[in-house]
Amino acid sequence: MKYEQLAKDIIKNVGGKENVNSLTHCVTRLRFKLKDEKKANTEVLKNMDGVVTVMQSGGQYQVVIGNHVPDVYEDVMVIGGFSTATSDETEQKTGVLNSLIDTISGIFAPALGVLAATGMIKGFNSLFLALGWILPNSGTYQLLNAIGDCFFYFFPIFLGYTAAKKFKLNHFVGMAIGAALVYPALSGLTAGEPLYTLFQGTIIESPVYITFLGIPVILMNYGSSVIPIILATYVASKVEKLFKKIIPDVVKAFLVPFCTLLVVGPLTFIVVGPVATWAGQLLGAGTIALYEFSPIITGLVIGGFWQVFVIFGLHWGLIPLAINNLVTLGYDPILALTFAASFAQTGVVLAIMLKTKNKKLKSLSVPAVISGIFGVTEPAIYGITLPRKKPFILSCIVASIGGAIIGWAGSVMYIMGGLGIFGIPSYVNPKSGLDKGFYAAITSFIIAFILGFVVMYFSKFEDDEVTPENKEEKKEETLVKQEVIGSPLKGKVIALSEVKDEAFSKGVLGKGIGIEPSEGKVVAPADGVLTTLFPTGHAMGITTDNGAEILIHVGMDTVQLEGKYFTPKFKQGDRVKIGDVILEFDKKAIEEEGYSVTTPVVITNSDNYLDVIETDKVNINYKGELLTVVI
């Protein structure tokens, strides 16, 4: 497994596999639902090689990995022994908005990759047709159209599966409901004169062609629909739960799905489907009303805040609206307004890449620009622009201008296609081809890219800004070549190779030294943050203000004491100053229990330094010079 060690470290620092309720992933993030987010070592994860950052939003603990997240996900699933669904998930109170976002993302995230892929095929097919490269009656066009259209047309079946997973319904029951909604023979029943018409003269006027046990059935076109299958699956999950309680175990395997489908199937066609469809039509009309009120203002707001929505996971609220608009209207103007955002971000990062003299920042910028061109901007946002604030703000302003251009021109999306440059075919009008809206969309992202680059290139940012106040400080920084780590204990110094634990003695966890403590007290070896404090109190991690990551592990196998004889004085996340007493432990009692109190002190990110030099002293006092990291 390529990412085996990273997967192990992630599982460990989210609180262990026993703290994980469920795990999914999107384009760049592992999306955990944890039983207790307080058990996760967020700062450790943020500083971990292979992790861009950590976000806590929408009831999810999101570990941002980057473009290779599917491979990391596979290794995490295997090493953690996680199944695709969990049966012991503990419900948490996350608030209405967080619960809604979590539900939407849980249903749509697994399907969006294939939805975008098939949309790209359909979009390119339309583009080739508009350019005259293929003919509408050719086999090439028909075959590509079938491949591109299949997923979206049969979307209820796929959403039946993902919604069933989310609502803890038998997955195949959810798919069966979706399949019934798009069953081809039902569409033929609407030919001829209706039996009668319900709600005549209203916005929801509905002809009735068939009845079920005398009850009128309103037949609608559920191909590509979103809301009906989600609501139907939710209802089915409640019905299934009821039947599971009353049906004997010996016949549950077939009688529970039988009874569930027999109840929910007709109910979906008679009530759930029509009501959900009407609700979808109203949502579509509402979003269009907002857009028509002022497409330019709507573009300024949605375009400008799109990247903020992505950070907090709020963009999931717009994706179902866009899909609903595509179904009910045949196009969507809302997500179209965000098209320029990724290019604005990419232009800003390209300027930083060309301008910065910071080699690490330059190396981070190269893959961020490449992924940004293809619409994946999380590496750029979390790794480069957001930490420096000003570049991120500039990218949002430029994205807002791009959104306003799209709104002014009336550009809309006709398919849910790819991201970045792969999103271009989404703007090809299937009826008129390359129209004004298509060229306006192209113009908007070119302007956003160039404007983002220009405003960033001629702006100062954190890496090159030198003022009279910080000039001397920066000069002094360039002269600093080492950091001295004080001793957290008082006692006898031994070589790390003498520690009776191979993980330490062989340097697997980093370079460092061992101490045979003479007193039961651990003090802060430097100013920094207590980034990790194990619940048992026997081990802790401190990140110094200069970036050194120090692991202090009191004793060998003392985790088995389960916290007995250890008394922490600080809690995880607290700032500490050199000499602060972080932990007290009963040295004598631990030794009487048969455990060694030999304490390794290790720099876990030793690879970031030229060298880690140990003290030559035999005995050392608190805060004495123990280790020197050479920068």
* DSSP character string of 162-223: HHHHHHT--HHHHHHHHHHHT-HHHHGGG-S--SEEESTTSTT-EEE-EEETTEEE-----T
Residue 50: both structure tokens together: 């292979």
The alpha carbons of the chain give a radius of gyration, in whole angstroms, of 30
Span 3-37, pLDDT tens digits: 888 999 999 999 998 899 888 877 678 888 898 88
Max mean pLDDT among 79-88, 150-159, 450-459 falls in: 450-459
User: Is residue 214 within 8 Å of residue 266, measured between CB atoms?
Assistant: no
In this structure, which amino acid lies at residue 478? T
Q: Which helix (H) or strand (E) holds 88?
A: none
High-pLDDT (> 90) share of the chain, %: 32
Rounded-to-integer distance, Cα 427 and Cα 232, Å = 32
| Burial call 94-107: b when 16+ CB within 10 Å, e when fewer | eeeebeebbbbbbb
pLDDT of residue 368: 78
Is the pLDDT confidence value at 308 over 50? yes
Average pLDDT over residues 81-87: 57
Predicted pLDDT of residue 589: 93
Task: Give the model's pLDDT for residue 506.
Answer: 80
* CATH 2.70.70.10 in the chain, residue ranges: 482-630
Per-residue pLDDT at 68 exceeds 80: no
Alpha-carbon distances, residue 136 vs 118, 141, 424, 612 (angstroms): 18, 6, 20, 69
pLDDT digits (tens, 9 = 90+) for 529-541: 998 888 888 989 9
Give per-residue pLDDT as tens, 204-247.
778 888 899 989 888 887 887 778 898 999 999 999 999 999 99
Q: What residues form DSSP beta bridges with 553? A: 539
Q: What is residue 512's predicted lDDT score, i.e. its pLDDT?
A: 92
**For range 591-603, the mean pLDDT:** 92
Query: Cβ–Cβ contacts within 10 Å for residue 552, how many?
Result: 24
pLDDT digits (tens, 9 = 90+) for 364-421: 788 778 878 877 776 677 678 877 788 989 999 999 999 999 999 889 898 877 778 8
Q: How far apart are the first and last CA of the chain?
A: 32
The mean pLDDT of 325-332, rounded to a whole number, is: 81
Distance CA 260, CA 268 (A): 12
Q: Tokens representing 374?
A: 């293809």
Query: How many CB atoms neighbour CB 85 within 10 A?
Result: 12
3-state helix, strand, coil in the chain (%, to 5): 55, 15, 30
Q: Alpha-carbon distance 497 to 600, whole Å?
A: 10
Give the closest residue to 459 by CA, choosing from 321, 352, 350, 593. Answer: 352
Please name the residues in contact with 491: beta carbons below 8 A apart, sequence gap of 6 or more. Answer: 515, 516, 517, 518, 519, 619, 620
Q: Is 26 a catalytic residue?
A: yes
Count Cβ atoms below 10 Å from residue 248 Cβ, excluding itself. Answer: 7
Find the angle CA(488)-CA(492)-CA(497) to the nearest 5 degrees: 90
Tell me the torsion sign for CA atoms 202, 206, 211, 213. Answer: negative
pLDDT of residue 314 exceeding 90, the answer is: no
Point out which residues pair with 196 in neighbouring strands: 208
- Rounded mean pLDDT of 574-602? 93
DSSP string, 482-503: EEEEEPSS-EEEE-GGGSS-HH
3-class DSSP state of 7: helix
Report whether 35 contacts 14 (CB < 8 A).
no
- Give residue for tokens 């049906």: 247
Angle at 188 between CA 183 and CA 191, to 5 degrees: 150
Q: Which amino acid is at 347?
A: G
- CA-to-CA distance for 229 and 176, rounded, in angstroms? 10
Pairing mode of beta strands 549-553, 539-544:
antiparallel
Weakest-pLDDT range from 105-109, 297-301, 615-619: 105-109
Res 311: pLDDT: 65
Residue intervals of the chain classified under CATH 3.30.1360.60 are 4-86
What is residue 186's predicted lDDT score, i.e. its pLDDT?
84
Superfamily of domain 4-86: Glucose permease domain IIB (3.30.1360.60)
At 466 the pLDDT is 42
CA dihedral 535, 536, 537, 539 (to 10 degrees): -90
The single residue of 26, 150, 259, 396 carrying the catalytic annotation is 26
- pLDDT score for 378: 67
pLDDT of residue 477: 43
Judge whether 353 and 372 are in contact, CB under 8 Å: no
Task: Write the Ramachandran bin of 249: left for phi over 0, alpha for psi from -120 to 50, otherwise beta.
Answer: alpha
pLDDT in tens, 111-151: 767 876 777 787 788 778 878 888 888 999 899 989 988 88
Give the residue among 327, 332, 239 at the shortest CA–CA distance from 276.
327
> What is the residue-averaged pLDDT of the chain?
83
Q: What pLDDT is recorded for position 420?
A: 80
Q: Would you say domain 482-630 falls under CATH 2.70.70.10?
A: yes
Question: What pLDDT is attached to residue 583?
Answer: 94
**What was the pLDDT predicted at 294?**
87
Q: What is the pLDDT of residue 401?
A: 94
Asked if the model's pLDDT at residue 346 lies above 70, the reply is: yes
Average pLDDT over residues 162-182: 92
The three state secondary structure string of 370-390 is HHHHCCCCHHHHHHHHHHHCH
Beta strands in 545-624 (DSSP E): 549-553, 566-568, 575-576, 581-585, 599-603, 611-614, 619-620
Which has the minimum average pLDDT: 133-137, 254-258, 451-455? 133-137
Q: Assess whether pLDDT exceeds 90 at residue 356.
A: no
Over 60: is that where the pLDDT of 470 sits?
no
Which distant-in-sequence residues (6+ apart) come within 8 Å of 567 by Cβ?
537, 583, 584, 585
> Which H/E stretch holds residue 22?
strand 20-25
Say what the pLDDT of residue 236 is: 95
State the Cα–Cα distance between residues 116 and 310, nearest whole angstrom. Answer: 17
Asked whether residue 464 carries a pLDDT value surpassing 60, the answer given is no
Q: Are 335 and 116 in contact (CB under 8 A)?
A: no
Asked if 582 contacts 522 with a C-beta cutoff of 8 angstroms, the reply is yes
List C-alpha distances in Å: 7 to 1, 364, 531.
Answer: 10, 22, 20
Q: Is 457 left (phi over 0), alpha (psi -120 to 50) or beta?
A: alpha
User: What's the rounded Cα separation, in Å, for the pair 177 and 160?
Assistant: 7
The per-residue pLDDT for 151 is 84
How many angstroms separate the CA atoms of 404 and 148, rounded?
A: 30
